[in-house]
Amino acid sequence: MMYRESADNEAFRYIDVHATVGLAADKSGGRANGSPGSLHSVLLLALVCCLLAIPGIGASLAAFPPGQVSIVTRAAAAFGLGYAAAGGCAFVLSSAHAFWLAVYLPLWAAVSVVLWVIALRRASLREHGRAALAEIRAEPLPLLMGALVVIAVLAVHTGYLHYLGGPHYVYYLNGVEIANSHGVPSQTLEYGQSWPPATDKIFLDAFTGVLVLFSQNYLIGPGVLLLLSILGCALGLWAAAWELGLRRTGGLLPLLILANGVIFNTSLSNDFTEYRAEDFGRAVAFCALALGVVAIRQGSWRTAVLAGLVLAAASGSHLIPVLVVVLALTCVGVARLLYRADGRPRLVALLGGIVVCGTGAVVGLAIRVFAGGTFGLNGASAQSAYAAIHTRFDPTAYLYKGLFVPRDAPSGTHPYYPVGKVVYSLIYSGLGAYLPHWQVVLVFAAAVLAAVVLFVFVKTDLRIVGLVGLGIFAGIVAVALAFNFKYHVYIDATFGGRRLGSYSSVGLILVGLAVLEALIMLLERTPPPVLVAGVVVPVLILTAWLAPSSALSAHLTHVSHERLKLVNWIRAHTTCGARFLVNQRSEGTLTTLAGRNAISEGMGPFLRPDKLGYVTSLMLGARNFYQDPQAHQAFLRQYNITYVIVARIGKLVGYSGPEGSANLSALNAAPFLHQVYTRQSAIVYQVTGASAPAPSTLLRGPYLHCLTGPAKF
């Protein structure tokens, strides 16, 4: 009657004959048995690359005449503008509720044709080719080394194409729901209820829906988007560094940020081991950063508008990377105001930055207006709404960390945390280590000295990089302190450290690369072999040292395998109307991968005060049940729960904070719970006497429904 792990942890057997399954449509939700999984992933990746590249290259050629910008910047522009075009078509159709592949492809093709016609009318492919070859001949080594770094970063992440992530599946589920409803849905399934969808990431959600239209194998889609995110980030970071003057060392920027689990703050690199919306938002925002630097330097309003359009597309994907890029562009503009470059008036830099940010704001607002649904960040502007949640503890801290932190008094001007604590946490985050104060002072004194020396003595664009790097770090600290003083709810007050802290190393890395670039410049008067060694050796050493740290580890492979085992058991052995309680707050995992209703599953409601009270009460009830199931049996009846899952490894399907640990001895002793699945990673109990209700109407669509066949890559 149950599925149990054998004593030697190698042989497993199915003995469950209880469950019957309901809906028969699309029983697998994965590839057909005869289709190689790796080929399926590669084909989807190639297809989506074409969706971006065909309009993107056309837009890039139309935007810049031959030789106006580097190959590197043109590649970043192609990614950003391609996403703006392909994602824009998807967004329009989702807002118009005409989201069908038969409508999307002709619209996308028409937009691509228009862009290519404009490009070819302005210059021929032969002219662009000659300009590209001339650049390659002029700077072969920097281009070669940068390209090799980008390839290495992508190569070490290819294993994630077949990695099944857990907690963040909601970012793919949003696209599934759009495909399922042929547009932005009126309701989504969250925490066992029907809620209006949060559409603050609607641009990316619509683009994700296109992947769903192409493939209903929901195991491979997130991996494809993750690899595309890495490609876009690598191109954007390399191009931004190139435009700032880091010609020989700029290729190291994507390595140090995307494939670095060793030095500095490794949070960004760790984020690129499981797909999330912020990953793709970073890719688009970094491409906008490169275009924005060009616009500020050249004073071109056309480039500024294009950069603003890409920035708007990024804002419809994730707002946090946009905030960081706006901060970086502000630093670039201010730094260029300090001197006249190429005889241009100083205000040219300021005007270019204003056009970039203004265009991004206007178009981003338009995306928000036509998105429909609800804006999932209302709590940041309506702090008083939290007062309606009557708890002595801060509910956002409880849901985020599982701790009962006392509420902070909303009156007065005192900070949420002491100023010194906020500043030092960001300093240590940026350095990636806790150092004695004298060492911290020494590091930052050296960084300031390096920035000043570069600005005074270097006559190329490199002179501002040190100032820009320090400005980014100082800006992050300033934003963190502003939130720390303004807000008195945990999730808002700690925004700077929690969400911007992962970017705290970027500025310091820029300063370090600028110093390395300046040292290599000094080698230009030495024999060529010495100069070549100065360029090649640092790149090879850092790549060989850092890149392997981001490859798919044995631990992550094991966790992915265990997730797949659990999902396949749920598909095969539970009814379509089954309702699950999990001791981890998950975000779309069971809904997407099994088409089942998990009441502990939904987007984090931290900034949705109207939903926060219900979710807090739900999680407290679940917490009490897992600690003393016999005393809280009524909780199961209240929510018609038919299966209880105990995840025994961290982040198997979600976050363990709010529901706390499970009392296994008490659960095993409960007479109304019967073990039906047992592995080292998870235990599933069937609730005796519980009858599954009819499946939710939200789980009966063409793309989102009960799945009963085995999931395979």
Alpha helices (H) along 215-318: 221-243, 252-258, 267-271, 277-298, 301-315
What is the reported pLDDT for 499? Answer: 92
Q: pLDDT band for position 8 (50/70/90)?
A: very low
Q: CA 87 to CA 210: how far, in whole Å?
A: 9
Q: What's the rounded mean pLDDT across residues 697-706?
A: 94
What is the reported pLDDT for 657? Answer: 79
Q: How far is CA 510 from CA 117, 241, 328, 430, in A?
A: 39, 8, 11, 12
Longest pairwise C-alpha distance within the chain: 84
Residue 137 located in a structural domain: no
Task: Kindly state the helix (H) or strand (E) to which residue 193 belongs, with its residue range.
Answer: strand 193-195
Highest-confidence segment of 390-394, 656-660, 676-680: 676-680
- Has residue 47 got a pLDDT over 60? yes
Is residue 441 domain-shared with residue 503, that is, in the same domain? yes
Q: Is 423 exposed, middle or buried (0-12, 13-18, 19+ CB in 10 A)?
A: middle
- Has residue 27 got a pLDDT over 80? no
* Residue pLDDT, tens place only, 570-622: 999 999 999 999 999 888 999 999 999 999 999 888 888 889 999 999 999 99
- Percent share of the chain, pLDDT over 70: 92
- Has residue 32 got a pLDDT over 50? no
The model carries a pTM of 0.93
What is the reported pLDDT for 385? Answer: 75
What one-letter code names the amino acid at 229? Answer: S
Domain that holds residue 577: 3-30+554-699
What one-letter code names the amino acid at 321? Answer: P
Residue 644 located in a structural domain: yes
What is the reported pLDDT for 713? Answer: 85
- Percent share of the chain, pLDDT over 90: 78
Q: Give the strand pairing for 673-678 and 643-647.
A: unpaired
Residue 8 located in a structural domain: yes
Domain boundary among 315, 347, 374: 374
CA-based torsion, 125, 126, 127, 131: positive or negative: positive
Domain boundary among 515, 530, 550: 550
Q: What's the rounded mean pLDDT across residues 349-361?
A: 89
Is residue 674 domain-shared with residue 603, that is, in the same domain? yes
Q: Which residues of 47-65 are buried (b: 16+ CB within 10 A; e: fewer)?
A: ebbebbbbbbbbbbbbbbe
Domain boundary among 349, 374, 399: 374
Is residue 395 domain-shared with residue 544, that is, in the same domain? yes
Q: Is 645 in a helix, a strand, or coil?
A: strand
Is residue 425 domain-shared with residue 518, that is, in the same domain? yes
Phi first, then psi, for residue 347 (nearest 5°) are -70, -15
- Has residue 282 got a pLDDT over 90? yes
Q: What's the rounded mean pLDDT across residues 223-227?
A: 96
What is the reported pLDDT for 544? Answer: 95
Q: pLDDT band for position 457 (50/70/90)?
A: very high
What is the reported pLDDT for 11? Answer: 30
What is the reported pLDDT for 411? Answer: 62
Is residue 619 domain-shared with residue 689, that is, in the same domain? yes
- Has residue 5 got a pLDDT over 50? no
Q: How far is CA 201 from CA 59, 313, 499, in A?
A: 24, 10, 16
Residue 368 located in a structural domain: yes
Is residue 558 domain-shared with residue 546, that is, in the same domain? no
- Do 535 and 145 form a contact (C-beta atoms < 8 A)? yes
What is the reported pLDDT for 342? Answer: 60
- Has residue 340 got a pLDDT over 70? no
Is residue 336 domain-shared with residue 459, that is, in the same domain? no
What is the reported pLDDT for 287? Answer: 98
Residue 238 located in a structural domain: no
- Has residue 474 got a pLDDT over 70? yes
What is the reported pLDDT for 12? Answer: 28
Q: pLDDT band for position 524 (50/70/90)?
A: confident
What is the reported pLDDT for 130? Answer: 96
N-term to C-term CA, the chain: 28
What is the reported pLDDT for 345? Answer: 65
Is residue 303 domain-shared with residue 432, that is, in the same domain? no
Q: pLDDT band for position 28 (50/70/90)?
A: very low
- Has residue 322 got a pLDDT over 70? yes
pLDDT top residue among 410 and 472: 472
Q: Is 536 exposed, middle or buried (0-12, 13-18, 19+ CB in 10 A)?
A: middle
Number of domains in the chain: 3
Q: Which residue has the tokens 């946490």?
A: 425
Residue 101 located in a structural domain: no
Q: What's the rounded mean pLDDT across residues 196-207?
A: 94
* Residue pLDDT, tens place only, 489-506: 999 999 999 999 999 999
Is residue 370 domain-shared with residue 413, that is, in the same domain? no
Query: Which pair of tokens denotes residue 236?
Result: 């954007």
What is the reported pLDDT for 24? Answer: 31
Query: Which pair of tokens denotes residue 227?
Result: 């690899």
Q: What's the rounded mean pLDDT across residues 629-640?
A: 95
Q: CA 295 to CA 383: how far, in whole Å?
A: 38
Is residue 497 domain-shared with residue 541, that is, in the same domain? yes
Is residue 616 domain-shared with residue 678, that is, in the same domain? yes
pLDDT top residue among 633 and 459: 633
Query: Which pair of tokens denotes residue 16?
Result: 């469950």
What is the reported pLDDT for 680? Answer: 92
Q: Is 331 in a helix, a strand, or coil?
A: helix
Q: Is 593 exposed, middle or buried (0-12, 13-18, 19+ CB in 10 A)?
A: buried
Residue 577 located in a structural domain: yes
Q: What's the rounded mean pLDDT across residues 628-653?
A: 94
Q: pLDDT band for position 29 (50/70/90)?
A: low
Q: CA 499 to CA 515: how far, in whole Å?
A: 28
Residue 480 located in a structural domain: yes
Query: Which pair of tokens denotes residue 455?
Result: 């600005």
Q: pLDDT band for position 376 (50/70/90)?
A: low
Is residue 424 domain-shared with residue 325, that is, in the same domain? no
Query: Which pair of tokens denotes residue 550?
Result: 């981001």
Q: At what angle do helices 71-95 and 125-138 cross, to 10 degrees?
A: 130
Instruction: Provide the mean pLDDT of the chain.
Output: 90
